[in-house]
Amino acid sequence: GSGAWSLVVRSDPYQQRYSYRFVARKKGYDAQYLAGSATFDEASTFDVVPGSLLTGKNFVLNGPFTNEVNGTISGPGGPVEGATVTIGTKQHVQFWFNFVPVDTAITDSAGHYTFNTLSSGPYYIQVAAQGLITEFSGNQYDIRLAPEVNPTSTPTTVDVLLGTGGSISGTTTPAHTLVSYCRAADFFDCNFAESDDSGQYTFSNLQPGDYRIGFMNSGYISEYYDDTADVSASKLVTVAD
């Protein structure tokens, strides 16, 4: 094709102007933000008024590259077949870092994966498999602590050993209570479930650390473990490594 691109901005009576950052990505090429920046933080912003035409915003990508990253994903029982391995970049947004996927591979019967059309890094590797904890390379649960991967024409090997993690379970009275958890350190890694007919609930494959547990049911006062309405005063539940 011609490589031409365009953006249509819907009209909004409450929003007269939109501010955008633009990025071009292609497998095997370096990502590029306008104008010429390599990262989200360095990228220029462009104001777009609905109905107007923004022209002359062109990208010239570096590449193609054939850098390779490969490795083996293992668990307590040995190599893990069918694990999802994602290679991506780290994007700083306000007070947090987002993981931005670039490519994905599925491990074979030997737990092996390969990415072989990579541009220059740095990258981060994230692995997810059924019944095991989702982790970054270096056995880290937080992208801020994960090691960088900088592929070259000489294959880079990144092996990851996944753990089963821990669990939190209990009984609610009454049954069918909505139970939620959040990691206490930063209130990320949150999830919820409803207790069953007997009031039982279980959260499995949790990362090690401290959690706060909340309970909510129609007609009852919402509270946190252990019998407090104040989340900051709630008792921490520790999941061991």
Task: Give the pLDDT band of residue 195 (cuts 50, 70, 90).
Answer: very high
Cα–Cα distance measured from residue 202 to residue 211, given in angstroms and rounded to the nearest whole number: 14
- What is the pLDDT of the chain when averaged over all its residues? 86
Cα–Cα distance measured from residue 76 to residue 128, given in angstroms and rounded to the nearest whole number: 14
Q: What is the pLDDT of residues 89-143, one digit of tens each?
A: 887 655 567 888 889 999 999 999 999 888 877 899 999 999 899 999 888 888 8
Whether the ω angle into residue 101 lies within 30 degrees of 0, i.e. cis, is no
Give the residue-averaged pLDDT of 218-234: 94
Task: Give the pLDDT band of residue 61 (cuts 50, 70, 90).
Answer: confident
Cα–Cα distance measured from residue 54 to residue 36, given in angstroms and rounded to the nearest whole number: 17
CA neighbours closer than 13 Å in the CB half-sphere of residue 166: 12
Give the residue-averaged pLDDT of 141-165: 90
Give the residue-averaged pLDDT of 202-230: 93
pLDDT for 21: 79
Give the residue-averaged pLDDT of 185-193: 80
Q: What is the pLDDT of residues 1-54, one digit of tens each?
A: 677 877 676 666 655 666 777 888 787 787 788 776 767 777 778 777 776 777
For residue 224, is pLDDT > 90? yes
Cα–Cα distance measured from residue 37 to residue 98, given in angstroms and rounded to the nearest whole number: 18
In terms of pLDDT, which residue wins out, 150 or 189? 150
Q: How many residues does the chain have?
A: 241
pLDDT for 145: 86
Give the residue-averaged pLDDT of 192-213: 94
For residue 158, is pLDDT > 60? yes
Q: Which of 46, 43, 42 is nearest to 34 (CA)?
A: 43
Cα–Cα distance measured from residue 109 to residue 86, given in angstroms and rounded to the nearest whole number: 18
For residue 197, is pLDDT > 90? yes
